[in-house]
Structure 1
């Protein structure tokens, strides 16, 4: 009798990545019956995962500390990942609510976090930038506050960035080529009126006065304008995304571009440096990434009341000049339904093959919010090689049973007691070291909020044609040169060359089929 061993089927795109934390999920209760969550994640050079968010520091509602967690690529915590004996650390810069909304790793391997702190229970919010050493831990007492702080930054590792006398909240950060830190968010101008804010900070923790005169820019495009995310172009210009008329029934997507000097870039958006885009009723922009050709991809939420009701996930693509890119989904914008009444995309990753991976949450199924993911082709269609139809939902559910379980990822942290009464909100997505997608956020059950990470299989194919940095493409039998490649930053051709394709000056970046002058027909 012959014995035939069956090899388990390889995980398909859209499946949970079971190489991460055994089943693809990691749910961590940082404070029992408290409010914990993750806003952002980063991957260091060794593949370790570092998160930024909040931790309930005393069990009381809205009392939060600035929290960072660190894990291996597999979702475990060993001695090498520990901060002063723990897998995470929490700092408080004020007496009330401190939240880290963005984490970055600078050229020296230091952790740079951006967020906000509130000293007076909701009446004194300020933006905060905090830089720490990656190899030094913290002690969770006020007197040992700066054990891990990089004291070469603003004297104690912490820079409080104020844009005026009122409240401000920073929701985004980015590092430019010089190591300067760009931050963005919104300022409470008066009453319920908000201005968008953006600023730049030197690597030593001082305002960069070469930016907007004093390092900071604050203004209103309409009313209640907010920035939620930023991206920096290779030329140093800054793209900021958010909402104009935030919270109003006619709120629209806001995209603005700033020069390196901190002024609105008048070559963008029809001459004034910004563009406001309407999808349906109340639309909001939350995340932005830049394609290799410079086009701008935005995700968020669109109120699709005119298309059956509820909120849908929003994806839009803009040209480098700030116009909607009509080669994407026909008109440059998508309102994507997952089958529920509420879908939101908070973040995105542009894969190496140009496909767009969007993440957030949906109430599909009617049992509260679940993690939502979608993958789109470069043309703006759902990618049906991902989860069969391009859409996927993930529910922590009964996969996390029990309380303190030392077999869970080896660190003794609490697993989540699943069930139909909990909800997952996905706020961040990052490409893990193995190429798959790591989504982070918070799980809510009544008054108990926990951190979660879930890793999703999402293969990124290579473009069909790889081209040299310079050269000319000859399409016809006479070797007539129809295009030359002038951008050394472009190293791959999205989609490859198809027989019969033609070139013109408008396609210089998108369809440059040059391979050292080789005839590809």
Structure 2
């Protein structure tokens, strides 16, 4: 097997499609200590969907000791409920974050499951914690981590602003965070949108997304917060860093922090509209030092792009290999792009790999990119993880009989 080849020992020919009986898509993945994979996302359409969670054995088969036949569906409201983040506690319990009650008007939702997929009655109310941040506008977790002290930190949306929330291990709001409230809406730049989170060893944390530097142009956004939820104004320019590629719209959706403290962002670049759905959209990356300065030793003046098609190519997940190579997951050849978390229409899974200096790794696929089709219809990756040192797993959605949870495994 060459680098980037599908691993035939996983699923069927390296691919897995998980049918919940309705439209579904996995938005996040976490790795258990036993190498089982936990996928979280949406089951149902974009107006009435529910939280969906599935667990795969390390070979890609559904783990029938979890939920019902390896799957759990949980309705939190009569409207749309979507899981967008998942993490595993040290005791094996599974924490899933997202929103309940629609993108436009819902609230932050965090659910904790026991290792067998049942709700953990010791968390929140019967295993569920729902919190409003911004009132009638939509709030959501898009990135989430479990801190070493067991607290749950989430970032995402609070209406038109960035949303921050931190919960105690029992699901209650952490009153040492956000001025005692445990949750807050934060204005970042002109209209900052946050999609990714990295917790640093100091207790500070980074968020990434995009911000409109002008009314018609979005750029990569990176910000750092203190452990109490206040913006760290010593980072970048008063706490923020914005990065433009070529004068078009650039949207960051993924982040990884190297062992040397350098910060890598990935996303969609060179869109001709501010939500990333038109033009020759390219997969793009930037790297910064720990103070927020572009790392000019990376790519070209701190930036790299890969452009496999003249359609929309992009990044939704990032992970780092032990040899310093950067692995990204996302999509290739989408006809209308995948603004935010929209369902795939026509493209395929994409896995990209960069060398440590930001150059595309030409030993991986074609020009650093691997394209995976499931059934000739719309597929898209949402998250990527290293299952072992020599295997990459990407999860997302693949259209077979309809859009399903999907995963694929590749050789590093």
TM-score, normalised to structure 1's length? 0.62
**Counterpart pick for 2:144 among 226, 230, 236:** 230
Aligned positions of 1:390-429 closer than 5 A = 390-396=302-308, 418=309, 420=310, 422-429=311-318
Paired residue for 2:393? none
Equivalent residue for 1:198?
110
Cα offset, 1:217, TM superposition = 1.1
Q: Which runs of 5+ in 1 are unaligned?
A: 1-71, 138-147, 246-250, 397-417, 461-521
Contact 1:340 1:362 in 2 (8 A): no
Q: Give the deviation of 1:459 after TM superposition.
A: 5.6
Note if contact 1:150-1:156 (Cα within 8 Å) is conserved in structure 2. yes
Kindly indicate whether residue 36 of structure 2 is the aligned counterpart of residue 117 of structure 1.
no
Distance change >3 Å, CA 73–CA 200, structure 1 → 2: farther
2:180 is paired with a residue whose SS is coil
Deviation per residue, 1:260-291 (Å, 9 max, x gap): 11011110111101232213333211000111
Instruction: Show the counterpart of 1:344.
Output: 251
- 3-state SS of paired residue (2:101): strand
- Answer yes or no: is 1:151 the counterpart of 2:64: yes
**1:83 equivalent in alignment to 2:7:** no
Alpha-carbon distance between aligned partners in 2 of 1:392 and 1:94, rounded to the nearest angstrom: 40
Q: Is the 8 A contact 1:73 1:433 kept in 2?
A: no
Partner of 2:3: 74
Deviation at 1:445, TM superposition (A): 4.7
8 Å contact from structure 1 (residues 374, 391) kept in 2: yes
1:129–1:158 contact (8 Å) kept in structure 2: yes
In structure 2, the partner of 1:437 is 326
Identify which of 252, 263, 267 aligns with 2:176: 267
Q: CA deviation at 1:364?
A: 6.7
* Deviation by residue 1:404-458 (Cα, 9 ceiling, x = unmatched): xxxxxxxxxxxxxx4x3x1202111111343211111112353631111110112
Q: CA–CA distance in 2 between the matches of 1:171 and 1:184?
A: 6
1:301 alignment partner, one of 210, 216, 227? 210
Task: Tell me how far 1:301 sits from its aligned partner.
Answer: 1.1
RMSD: 2.1
Partner residue, 2:90: 177
Map of 1:317 onto structure 2: 224
Q: SS in structure 1 opposite 2:251?
A: strand
Check conservation: 2:78, 2:101, Cα contact below 8 A: no
CA contact (8 A) 2:221 2:240 kept: yes
Is the contact between residue 441 and residue 451 of structure 1 (CA under 8 Å) also seen in structure 2?
Answer: yes
Shift, 1:156, TM fit: 1.8
Distance 1:388 1:341 in 2: 17
CA contact (8 A) 1:132 1:149 kept: yes
Write out per-residue CA displacement over residues 340-365 of structure 1, whole angstroms, 9 at most, x where no aligned residue.
32111101001000111011011179
| Cα separation, partners in 2 of 1:212 and 1:377, compared to 1, 3 Å | same
Q: 1:78 to 1:358 in 2, by over 3 A?
A: closer
1:280 lines up with 2:189 in the alignment:
yes
1: distance between equivalents of 2:224 and 2:334? 36
Bigger radius of gyration, 1 or 2? 1
User: How many equivalent residue pairs?
Assistant: 342
Distance between the aligned counterparts of 1:130 and 1:239, measured in 2? 22
Quick one: distance in 2 between partners of 1:255 and 1:123? 25
Quote the Cα distance in structure 1 between the aligned partners of 2:133 and 2:100: 13
Alignment of 1:448 onto 2:335: no
| Unaligned residue ranges in structure 2 (runs of 5+) | 273-277, 336-344, 359-412
What is the Cα deviation at residue 244 of structure 1?
1.1
Secondary structure of 2:106 counterpart? strand
The structural deviation recorded for 1:192 is: 4.2
Task: Report the TM-score when normalising by structure 2.
Answer: 0.78
Q: Does the aligned pair in 2 maintain the 1:73–1:432 contact within 8 Å?
A: no
Counterparts of 1:288 and 1:78 in 2: how far apart (Å)? 30
Aligned to 2:367: none
- Cα offset, 1:181, TM superposition: 0.8
Runs ≥4 residues deviating over 6 A: none
Alignment of 1:17-166 (within 5 A): 74-79=3-8, 81-84=9-12, 86-95=13-22, 97-118=23-44, 121-135=45-59, 148-166=61-79
